[in-house]
A = this chain, B = another copy of it.
Amino acid sequence: MTGTLYVVGVGPGDPELLTLKAMRILKQVHCICVPKGREEGSSLALSIAEGVVDLKGKEIIEAFFPMKKTRAGVKASQNHAAADGRTAVVDNELEDRWNETVVNILKRLNQGIDVAFITIGDPAIYSTFFYLYDRLLALAPGMRIEIVPGVSSITAAASRACLSLGLADEKIAIVPATYAGDLSRMTSEFDTIVLMKVYRVFDEIVKALTAAGLAGNATYISRAGMREEAVIRNLKDVRKEDLNYFSLIIIRRPSKP
């Protein structure tokens, strides 16, 4: 007998943004796996789920993925994952942690226990799950897996700011904030640019946007749909204390004359 692994997006923060399907599965399963590693991410996914499902009596597996530097000087958890055949350069500790989680999950599945791996937002958008996926497949190629999409923080942010990300034949780019230097070139091609994880390089982004004449086209959104949400239409009004892991900037290209 084999259980099913459900990879469940729990949405951006507001428990009401869970899907009916996510709620049903979380009620149904007896074991929930929660990724850890980001400062705020881990407990948040669980607390979102707890907002609508009583988790009492369920087994919670906490999968801790430390964010640490590898020898190559790159954050281990930020390397390309092995999913779709890419090589992940990770140190031994992280590798051990991943394997531990894989073994934990497969053990339950082999006992016929369904497991839900929960992740903030949508599983396909920068979620930790895909770091495990190839490892799971390697050990259990026939495993039963279902990925349940959720509302991503990106569209939640657009909603809160009443912005469209794209209309008709428009082009959308979603890029980590470290690429802010390319903004000028990117806006010549894309109608919308979503800059992710802006909190660490916010000053550089403001400089790059100003230099590109795009500061007036940028909207800052933090913690969309969460209690401490902020939508700030003038980047000058963003204070240091507003910046956090869940901040992003949406840039709409100026209209053509």
Residues of A near any B CB (own CB < 8 A): 7, 9, 11-12, 14-21, 23-24, 52, 75, 77-81, 83-87, 122-127, 129-131, 133, 145, 147-152, 155-156, 158-160, 162-176, 178-179, 190, 225, 252, 255-256
What's the minimum C-beta distance from A136 to chain B, rounded to whole angstroms? 11
The SS class assigned to the A binding surface is: mixed
Q: Cβ of A174 and Cβ of B174 under 8 Å apart?
A: yes
Q: Cβ of B21 and Cβ of A20 under 8 Å apart?
A: no
Q: Cβ of A155 and Cβ of B165 under 8 Å apart?
A: no
Q: Cβ of B166 and Cβ of A126 under 8 Å apart?
A: yes
Q: Cβ of A163 and Cβ of B84 under 8 Å apart?
A: yes
In the assembly, what is the distance between CA of A4 and CA of B199, in Å? 33
Q: Cβ of A167 and Cβ of B20 under 8 Å apart?
A: no
Q: Which residue on chain B has the smallest CB distance to residue A175? A: B171
Cβ contacts under 8 Å, A171 to chain B: 173-176, 179
What's the minimum C-beta distance from A183 to chain B, rounded to whole angstroms? 13
In the assembly, what is the distance between CA of A173 and CA of B179, in Å? 14
Q: Cβ of A162 and Cβ of B174 under 8 Å apart?
A: no
